[in-house]
Amino acid sequence: MNGERLLWVDSWWSALGGDAPLPGPVAAVLALSLAFLFVVLPSAYWISLLHRKFAADLQARVGPNRAGPGGLGQPLADFLKLIQKEGRQKRSRAERIWMGVHTFALFSTLAVLPLGTMALLVDTEISVFIPFWSLLVLALGAMWIGLSRPSVPGWFGGIRAGAQTLTGAFPALLCVLTAGMRADGFSWSALAGSQGANLLSWGLWGQPPFQLIAFGVFLFSGLILLGAEPFDAAVSKGDIQGGVGANLEGRDLAMFSLGRFYGFFFWSVMTVVIFLGAWNLPRGFSDWLREQHLERLLAFLELSVLLAKTWLLMLGVVWFARSNPRVRADQVTELSWRVLGPLALGALLGATLWSAGGWGL
């Protein structure tokens, strides 16, 4: 844990009237809980609602309009409905422990969720690689859920989830390496610091056209890795009737959906931080806020910028998913191996030569 970076928790703590500074572990747990409660869950709520409204608008439908004013309460109504229902399948003690460990492993990556210069809990030289752990846990979990289903669709879904993860992770990692070439490091602060608030100073325009290629590949390979629409052959309702989640319902389905959302959200945050200007405010403005000791306002504005970009990116993905038919599982893996992989390799090679030749200087 980076003690200095916990300033934002201390700052809020003192603002709330706390006299003594919080002990490090308490501050860390508090930070993680706050990030989950005030960033991840509200994002899940709003993205779920906006997704449905936006998709309905695209499809000339009304969309949710019953729960709450203008349908605003629909995600809450769905969540409450699901958590009141028990799953059909009774779990053994060993299964419950495994599910607990899996859930913990998935959400443990909250520690590296980058939310701004003032809200970086863990910012090591390999920070950017740590979320892959979460995504692989998610994919592995989806695979095992599928394989343990007493149905053929679940089994196919499990196999597809595993295959897609392997094929998606390879180009995605190459793209992270490419971005690291530009930023000269793999910490969140290095990646974010190598970009500016101005659109033209975003990472994707660096070392043209290699970073742009890396951005595109990173985005698509992430969707493949996560099995997001339209690369959702592992969980699709159309061709294998539910796939991995075929027999999930009630609380299990709620947790499964939240886990998938978390993966998608984290991936979008990563994309924004690596390629889309991160949380950067105009440099003079952020310096002035620091000089005025307005850290809390700075943290809030950075978080707002980051979330605005992330949500827009997620809605862009929704638009893409709703405009395109589902891609077959074998076509997804083929796209990954034959197109995204070579493109990512090319981008990495180009960025390496660029950095070695000093053209970027």
Kindly list the residues in this chain that would bind another protein in the complex (CB under 8 A): 55, 58-61, 152, 156, 229-230, 232-233, 236-241, 322-331
C-beta of 327 vs 348, nearer to another protein: 327
In terms of Cα–Cα distance, which of 227, 245, 248, 269 is closest to 109? 269
Q: Which residue lies nearer to another protein by CB, 57 or 95?
A: 57
- Calpha distance 319→230 (Å, rounded): 10
Pick the closer one to another protein by CB: 251 or 326.
326
Least separation in angstroms between CB 63 and another protein: 11
Residue 4's Cβ-side half-sphere holds a number of Cα atoms within 13 Å equal to 3
**Which CB atom, from 281 or from 327, has the smaller least distance to another protein?**
327
Closest approach, Cβ 154 to another protein, in A, equals 12
Angle separating helix axes 130-147 and 93-107, nearest 10 degrees:
150
Evaluated on CA atoms 228, 230, 234, 235, the torsion sign reads positive
State the Cα angle at 145 between 140 and 150, rounded to 5°: 145
Which is nearer to another protein, 241 or 352 (by Cβ)? 241
Q: In 3D, which of 178, 182, 175, 169 has the Cα closest to residue 136?
A: 169
Half-sphere exposure of 169 (CA within 13 A, CB side): 18
Helix axes 130-147, 152-183, angle to 10 degrees: 170
| Residue 89 or 241 having the CB closest to another protein | 241
Query: Is the Cβ of residue 73 or residue 230 nearer to another protein in the bound state?
Result: 230
Kindly state the smallest distance separating residue 188's Cβ from another protein, in Å: 34
Q: Are 224 and 317 in contact (CB under 8 A)?
A: no
Least distance from C-beta 346 to another protein, angstroms? 22
Contacts of 237 (CB under 8 A, 6+ apart): none
What minimum distance in Å lies between the beta carbon of 191 and another protein?
A: 32
- Considering the complex, what minimum distance in angstroms separates the CB of residue 43 from another protein? 23
Contact indicator for 344, 217 with CB cutoff of 8 Å: yes
In the complex with another protein, the residue whose CB is nearer, 20 or 60, is 60
Calpha distance 12→4 (Å, rounded): 14
CA-based Rg of the chain, rounded to a whole angstrom?
21
CB of 145 to another protein, least distance (A): 19
How far apart are alpha carbons 115 and 57 in whole angstroms?
31
Q: How far is the CB of 272 from another protein (least distance, A)?
A: 26
